[in-house]
Structure 1
């Protein structure tokens, strides 16, 4: 069975794979995340008969094997991160310090920073880093397995180290690396080891981070990012809230004694906000500001530049600059705010359906819908000038996107054409 056939038939086995993973992990959320990663792995697999078995008699078993391997990789990766960060916490806190809520929070923040940094690495650099640092595979063996020179593996590993170290410095609040020898291999190893251990000097020095945390009333900042085709599961924030990201999304968060603020820079996010009446939770997306006290809601920067706000529970306040657009957007309601001074309009559909592997289109221009699907597709998707303005509505299963594309000509006056580069063009007929 070819890789394209495996990808096409995966939706038929999706629920069974999720059930298998739920029994294996004990977590429905993790099961869906790994099932989605399995679909991405199939989508990214090369259409090479040498790389794929000529015949797979039991596709379900094959899907479960791929999913189990991906889940094991996630588990090993988490164990590696936990080991290094726990060692750092022990050094920082001192032998007489018992970990408390603040310790655990800083630990989770560091894990989130590392996870986002790894996700943003180029595919080969990430593969090299994980194989060497998580699984202990020798560099020479990695080079042989990947069919590249040893110095290529060394360069990938060094680049990954530098990228992760830079991400951790940003998390620690440092603007640049200190010292003159950070670029050397020895300096790089020392710098990364120090950062992985949460540092022994500076912002996190001599246990001072814990005192600083208490004295400064939870001053904290973090950045989150997701690559193509991969979502970020809900991440804990210092107030007990959580943030989840869709594929190809970026967000920055800053918390202190007086504010809880997140800036959505790209893509889509979903928030479950813990109630703190004295400290509102604010999300900025383009020119739009969403303020809440405690609720569950999604915010998305659409391909057109419009901002979509959808409420799952509670109430939110929506502004564009100084203009109040909604003072009590309630559960089940949504608002789409266009770029510029155009009037905001109601938006229908569930809040952040991408969390469940779906996308919802509500009279959405076809060009925008294809851009939205492209965050997950291994193929380039685009519409020509005649087809792009056509409107589409309905819910699309991301894993069934190919079927949705093939069915477009039955609903719209378009043709779906495969391009020489492997991409898909939807043209007006």
Structure 2
């Protein structure tokens, strides 16, 4: 092992990183450490740092640990630094799920790297890439540090996809105590990062009960809309394939949420987007498929996520659209071929799983009859 490698491994073993339960302190140390390396670092900032270090012995101890690790990295030979750059770039290109599940494979170019770089993967790379010690590399003048920092920040600490089947509801508890309830035919992905929590709702509707964490906001990204909360309970619906209901609907049961047109912006960028609307309990808002937001409207408590109680309601809704909503929960065995019948308006509250009642009600609520045809019943105009 080269002498520089021995020194690095010795310092890493001699000065362990702060334990996982000091994430808040670790973040403060990294913030001070990064800012101190900038050319714009001022005397006033240095004084503020010294005051922070003097305020608590734990502050100084943690900061000294990071400085020790920095000196270890600073001792790396140039070829090892170059190899680290290649490894980080390679790791960043890999899917995050793969990077989180297993040690990242070395790119093919590593096979021909000089001896000092070849020695890098063992202890040092395990420290630099998946561990928090990698963040100490952010101040490398070569630029490798910025790549390392971005790579570290971009890795989710928790990631999971959830889906409910047609006619099924699904209850999910997340690591922080937040809860999700998925309605029928709903697909979403949850990813928790170090600075935020994020849910991508692909389709369907869900009720969110979010545990408050002001330093780690909770974002729901759904079609053209982004919703940001700290702690609250609200529902989001996004059914892009359903004519007449292909936008996004957000309704708040408790707390408040911020709704914006995101145009593809990721969670961290939502706070900077203009034209945000803030909803409080008892309010709802809708967005069209392009992200245009409607005026805020009042909504009764029983109208928020009524599907929890196996209820769907229609108010002057085209019959074809109402039938499509029923079909989200299961086959109705009903069809419509006449455009005039499809345009008839239906109002009422129904149990989406009780198709027999729907069949009985339709001829009394609308001027229609049910005609037996191959494969089921057709709703036809009453003549």
Q: Deviation per CA, 1:5-46, whole angstroms, max 9, x where unpaired?
A: xxxxxxxxxxxxxxxxxxxxxxxxxxxxxxxxxxxxxxxxxx
Contact kept? 1:296, 1:311, Cα under 8 Å: yes
Task: With the length of structure 2 as denominator, give the TM-score of the two structures.
Answer: 0.52
Contact kept? 1:386, 1:427, Cα under 8 Å: no
Structure 1 pair 293–175 and aligned structure 2 pair: CA distance change class (3 A): closer
- Tell me what 1:397 maps to: 351
Q: Deviation per CA, 1:54-110, whole angstroms, max 9, x where unpaired?
A: xxxxxxxxxxxxxxxxxxxxxxxxxxxxxxxxxxxxxxxxxxxxxx99xxxxxxxxx
- Tell me what 1:363 maps to: 316
Structure 1 pair 292–175 and aligned structure 2 pair: CA distance change class (3 A): closer
Alignment of 1:8-407 (within 5 A): 173=98, 219-233=157-171, 235-302=172-239, 303-304=242-243, 305-321=246-262, 322=273, 324=275, 326-327=277-278, 329-340=279-290, 344-345=294-295, 346=297, 348=299, 350-384=303-337, 385-407=339-361
2:274 and 2:375 map into 1 onto residues whose CA distance is: 46
Max Rg structure = 2
Gaps of 5+ in 2: 1-19, 22-94, 104-125, 136-151, 263-272
Secondary structure class of the residue paired with 2:329: coil
Contact kept? 1:171, 1:223, Cα under 8 Å: no
1:256 deviates by 0.6
1:398 and 1:171 map into 2 onto residues whose CA distance is: 39
2:226 and 2:162 map into 1 onto residues whose CA distance is: 19
1:421 deviates by 1.0
1:177 and 1:260 map into 2 onto residues whose CA distance is: 22
Structure 1 pair 383–290 and aligned structure 2 pair: CA distance change class (3 A): farther
Contact kept? 2:334, 2:378, Cα under 8 Å: yes
Q: Deviation per CA, 1:291-343, whole angstroms, max 9, x where unpaired?
A: 1111111111132311111111111111223563521x122222222223655
- Tell me what 2:369 maps to: 415
Secondary structure class of the residue paired with 2:374: coil
2:276 and 2:362 map into 1 onto residues whose CA distance is: 35
2:99 and 2:370 map into 1 onto residues whose CA distance is: 49
Q: Deviation per CA, 1:87-144, whole angstroms, max 9, x where unpaired?
A: xxxxxxxxxxxxx99xxxxxxxxxxxxxxxxxxxxxxxxxxxxxxxxxxxxxxxxxxx
1:383 and 1:177 map into 2 onto residues whose CA distance is: 52
Contact kept? 1:316, 1:330, Cα under 8 Å: yes
Gaps of 5+ in 1: 1-99, 102-169, 179-205
Task: With the length of structure 1 as denominator, give the TM-score of the two structures.
Answer: 0.47
